[in-house]
Amino acid sequence: MNLDRCKDIIGNIKDKFEVLDYQKEHHEEQGGLDLEYIIFNSPLGRVKLEFISKPVVLDKKTNYSRRIGSDVKVEYVYSEEEKTTKMEAYKWDESSDDWMKIDGGMFEE
């Protein structure tokens, strides 16, 4: 999924459904994580879509010592140009009063 497709989905939701909340957040961890979510009323009930965009991991460096009790440190090298984007969907569960993740496998035959 790319950012243009995410914006199309959000635009369609804003046009067709009642939007309850819409937020964009930026976190500096993991090379700059962008989180965008929209909560809306749908025929299924209250639904939350999260769009997570983060830089692609180019390299993983592990620093360690062979001494007993020493720490292991892992450093990630992130791309400055390339980003990966994914979407996660949640449905509000009244009985547990919490968001339940919608499994994409349930739509496959």
CB-CB neighbours of 17 under 10 Å: 14
Spatial CB neighbours of 103, under 8 Å, sequence gap ≥ 6: none
> How does DSSP classify residue 8?
H
pLDDT confidence tier of residue 18, bands split at 50, 70 and 90: very high
Q: Residue 89: is its pLDDT beyond 80?
A: yes
Cα separation, 90 vs 13, whole angstroms? 15
Answering whether pTM is above 0.85, one says no
